[in-house]
Structure 1
């Protein structure tokens, strides 16, 4: 392993902390012009873990396209994939994406309120019409400029603990993990362009009819129950979505 590169691991779950350490190493090696990771045995010794853990981490990173492992060549760093900062095929927090892009993110909670589900909401979340939901509206800023507008809808019956406005200053997934009886295990998203109406135009400081990137997303529990409907509007000058696909 290159001298001068040291990686510390704290007391979090082993797989996740080793993966973060390897991603950090990949970025450091890329910055100094290296295109390959050290052998598994060297990584294991450097991080103080077994080769089995290293293999599992490398398999995960390979599935996400960050590396390619070739027999007789080694573990190649896919710099072009590493540079894709907004990936639709992997889970990324919006605040983390903005930080990676060099922005300072800030979340503003515009409103949160209890509403009665209309027929569309009821159908998407598989609840009864007029059943209560919680709707949360937030804007995420990048260096003070509006970057993302989000409307989240959750069946009220899932919320099992008291909450206030501060609970929505993180991600909705954190809120559901801490305050709800069910958590998001998977989601299905549709991406399409959307024209800014008067409300969105005012938020994004643009003209009505200007185009935004729209992510229409349903979050599912471990039992495949729809428990979250998110409507996310992204400023196209800040976000450029990419998808990694491996050819078989």
Structure 2
């Protein structure tokens, strides 16, 4: 079965039903109704609802309707959720494009080997990409993916999503991402790449992708230009 023929994940289907409920201002259908309409078991529905509640989409109380958090309808990008840069830009209602500034195959540095628990002299793929929204630069990403398989990194499209590059070069699926946010002024190089003034404030994200077995699949530094994205973070407030 091809990827296009795979059934759509339950959680994604539930999110569409959540959006419909949020737009009409009503509660979510019951577990029984959801199981029937989605043609899945009630335990599968319940598990997916738990994940939606953890992410702030809904609130459930025993013996009461499942209420929806309609305020999320106006949030295109959530800080605690990982979106590919193209999907992030598209979620803002703008057209994404990417320019691969560089794509080089070399060795991991000693500092990187120590920080990311990678063998010294390990081959890595390094890319620098500039993402644009409607032709306007909004993000600079410097990604590093270690080569742990026999795949030739030069045979891959460096513009592909980092998760795809990691699957090909590391041979594992990314399960978590450790993210360290920060702020900095644009470096001369980043200013030149984006056409923005040197020293202009920007948000930075230092992230490391980890597989479920604990393997480091990539590390990256992203520079998000000021005013380009409007992030939100949703958290439970059970006072």
Residue 190 of structure 1: which of 172, 180, 185 is its match?
180
- Residue 203 (1) aligns with residue 193 (2): yes
Which residue in 1 is equivalent to 2:87?
96
TM-score normalised to structure 2 length:
0.88
Q: 1:60 to 1:128 in 2, by over 3 A?
A: closer
Shift of 1:108: 2.0
Which of 12, 24, 34 does residue 6 from structure 2 map onto?
Answer: 12
Pair 1:52–1:127, CA change in 2 (3 A): closer
Corresponding pairs, count: 235
Q: Alignment partner for residue 29 of structure 2, among 29, 32, 38?
A: 38
Q: For residues 1-248 of structure 1, what are the structure 2 equivalents within 5 Å?
A: 11-13=5-7, 17-31=9-23, 33-156=24-147, 158-164=148-154, 167-248=157-238
Q: How far apart are the structure 2 equivalents of 1:183 and 1:67?
A: 28
SS at match of 1:189: strand
| Cα distance change of structure 1 residues 221 and 43 upon mapping to structure 2, 3 Å threshold | closer
Q: Return the alpha-carbon distance in structure 2 between the equivalents of residues 180 and 118 of structure 1.
A: 18
TM-score, normalization: structure 1? 0.85
The structure-2 alpha-carbon separation of the partners of 1:164 and 1:131, relative to structure 1 and needing over 3 Å to count, comes to: closer
Greater mean deviation of Cα atoms: 225-234 or 235-244 = 235-244
CA shift, 1:183, in A, is 3.2
How far is 1:103 from its partner?
Answer: 0.9
Q: In the TM superposition, what is the alpha-carbon distance from 1:130 to its structure 2 partner?
A: 4.5
How far residue 35 of structure 1 moved from its aligned partner, in angstroms, is 3.2
Give unpaired runs (5+ residues) of structure 2: none
SS at match of 1:19: helix
| CA RMSD, Structure 1 to Structure 2 (Å) | 2.2
Asked whether the equivalents of residues 124 and 145 of structure 2 are also in contact (C-alpha less than 8 Å), the reply is yes
Aligned partners of 2:50, 2:177: CA distance in 1, in Å?
A: 23
